[in-house]
Structure 1
Amino acid sequence: MHDSIREIEDWTDQATKQMLNNLVERKQKFDRAKKMHLYILWISIFTAFCFMYYLTKAVLEPYSYSFGAMFSVYVSDSIHLYISLFLAGLFGAVKVLYQKKEKKEKEYQDLRKEIIDRSKDLWKEEAWKKRHQVFDKMKSQFDINLYHGSK
């Protein structure tokens, strides 16, 4: 459990602290997935741009007089096929990482909304008046908004 969640006073019970800890862990998983998707996306775009620039200079400009000549030069060098397959794999990885990122975001948002919906059950009587301290801590330390259910 995170130290800052452990340090929350006793008016927040252990089950609520565990829910908050799970929320923080899901937020961190979502942030990592988002970062990984973004990195692979930019690597894919940069690699595709470099390959297209190379093809323009090595194949398209010198052999622009005939499509058949361009196609023949393109398929005669096997490195073009390997780079094309590598780029297809990169863009496939971008798609898979996007789907994983969306799944992790949904899990995170669902748990966050559940905590917001159940806040009346989690903090009762005197604790209800102090719950804003927990909400402020979650917002300032982990960038998790528990005040509103919408993103």
Structure 2
Amino acid sequence: MHDSIRGFEDWTDQATKQMLQNLIERKQKFDRAKKMHVSILWLSVFTAFCFLYYLAKSVLGPYSYSFGAMFSVYVSQSVHLYLTVFIGGLFGAVKVLHQLKEKKEKEYQDLRKEIIDRSKDLWKEDAWKKRHEVFDKMKSQFDINLYHGSK
């Protein structure tokens, strides 16, 4: 369990601490998925741009007088096919990583909203007055907003 969660003293019970720990873990998984998605997206865009620039300079420019000549030059070098398949695979990976990121975000948001909805049950009596300290710590240390349910 994270050290800052252990420091919530007696006004936060063990089950609530475990829910907050799960929330932190889901937030970290979502952040990693988001970072991976953006990284692969930019890699694929940069690679596609470089390949298209290369094709424009080496195939389209010199052989623009005939489509047949351009196609013949493009097909004659197998590296063109490999790069085309590689770039297509990168964009496919972007799609898969986007779906993974959306799934992780949904899991994170669902748990966050559940904690917000159940906050009256999780913090009772005297602990209710101290819950804002938990919310502040979660916001400042982990960038998790528990004050309201909308994104």
Q: Does 1:20 align with 2:20?
A: yes
SS, match of residue 130 in structure 1 = helix
* Cα deviation, residue 118, structure 1: 0.1
Deviations 1:77-113 (A, max 9, x none): 0000000000000000000000000000000000000
Paired residues for 1:29-108 under 5 Å: 29-108=29-108
Task: Report sequence identity in percent.
Answer: 85
- The alignment covers a number of residue pairs equal to 151
Between the aligned partners of 2:112 and 2:132, the Cα distance in structure 1 is: 15
SS, match of residue 74 in structure 2 = helix
- Superposition TM-score, scaled by structure 2 size: 0.99
SS, match of residue 148 in structure 2 = coil
Between the aligned partners of 1:80 and 1:91, the Cα distance in structure 2 is: 17
Deviations 1:103-137 (A, max 9, x none): 00000000000000000000001000110000000
Question: Which residue does the alignment assign to 2:2?
Answer: 2
Runs of 4+ aligned structure 1 residues displaced above 6 Å come to none
Matched residue type, 2:48 = A
* Cα deviation, residue 9, structure 1: 1.1
Matched residue type, 2:37 = H
Question: Which residue does the alignment assign to 2:150?
Answer: 150
Gaps of 5+ in 1: none
* Cα deviation, residue 73, structure 1: 0.5
Deviations 1:26-69 (A, max 9, x none): 00000000000000000000000000000000000000000010
Gaps of 5+ in 2: none
